[in-house]
Amino acid sequence: MRRRHPSFEPGAFTLIELLVVVAVVSLLLGVLAPALSSARRSAESARCASNLRQAFLACRSYADDSAMALSGILAGGLGPAIGEPYAELPNWALVVQSYADRIGSTPGELYSNTSVLVCPAADAHYPQAMTRTYAMNGTGHAGLAAQPPTEDDPGWPADPDNYDDPDNPAHIRFDRVQRPTETPLLLDSAIASFPSNAPPPTRTASIIDFRQPEHVAARIGRFHAGGREFNCVRFDGSVRAARDPAPHWRRPLP
């Protein structure tokens, strides 16, 4: 006859065993959480850099197209409008969307939460779904009067135009920009208060003039490296992070 072996039925976990499992899981989560958070932040920064490069290429292409259209009459090629017309082409943000083959011509048609105009870190920072989180460098095109030099500041000549003037939109001559490898074209921006032309709450500031202290204090969006850094794409197309504006960023753009 075959001998029957007694069947084995696993017993329930004891309280001590359950406590050990919980402790091990908690320990693993404590070890993995910082690494996962760091990986997520790195991925967001990489996507932001990719967005800025694509936005730069659209603005650069627009400047190149304008140079060809003018057949050399105006050297340098004008980039898209820095500010006005804010709700129409050729505003820089709408140009970016247009060159990305988005269909339409108005903010309602061209802006969306899933586009190159939205930094994922900025989108996570605000409670509402954002539709534009970058700003263009408008230094030298704010309609400011001439500033004489001082011991601490080189000053600047009177601005030739004003990005808030709907009758005379302001543009940057891309090929005349000095130090293009070090001068930002677009950068992360934050929601700020405006005396006029305030964007809706789903969009951050679209222009930063580095000569204006209130712009530097309120409009730069430090969404990376734990809120210490912002990404910016230079006029040569390179993307780098920065913690504070460099002194030469105050130089008026052509």
Residue 4 lies inside a defined structural domain of this protein = no
Give the pTM.
0.83
Residue 1 lies inside a defined structural domain of this protein = no
Residue 220 lies inside a defined structural domain of this protein = yes
Residues, the chain, total? 254
**Angle at 192 (CA atoms; ends 198, 207), nearest 5 degrees:** 70
Residue 3 lies inside a defined structural domain of this protein = no
CA 21, CA 181: separation in Å to the nearest integer?
54
Residue 149 lies inside a defined structural domain of this protein = yes
Q: Which of 185, 187, 156 is nearest to 173 (CA)?
A: 185
| Beta pairing partners, 81 | 91
Q: What is the pLDDT of residue 238?
A: 98
Tally of structural domains, the chain: 1
- Over residues 178-198, the mean pLDDT reads 92
Residue 96 lies inside a defined structural domain of this protein = yes
3-state secondary structure of 39: helix
Residue ranges making up the domain that contains 188: 17-250
Q: Across all residues in the chain, what is the average pLDDT? A: 89
Residue 7 lies inside a defined structural domain of this protein = no
Residue 209 lies inside a defined structural domain of this protein = yes
Of residues 115 and 67, the one with the higher pLDDT is 115
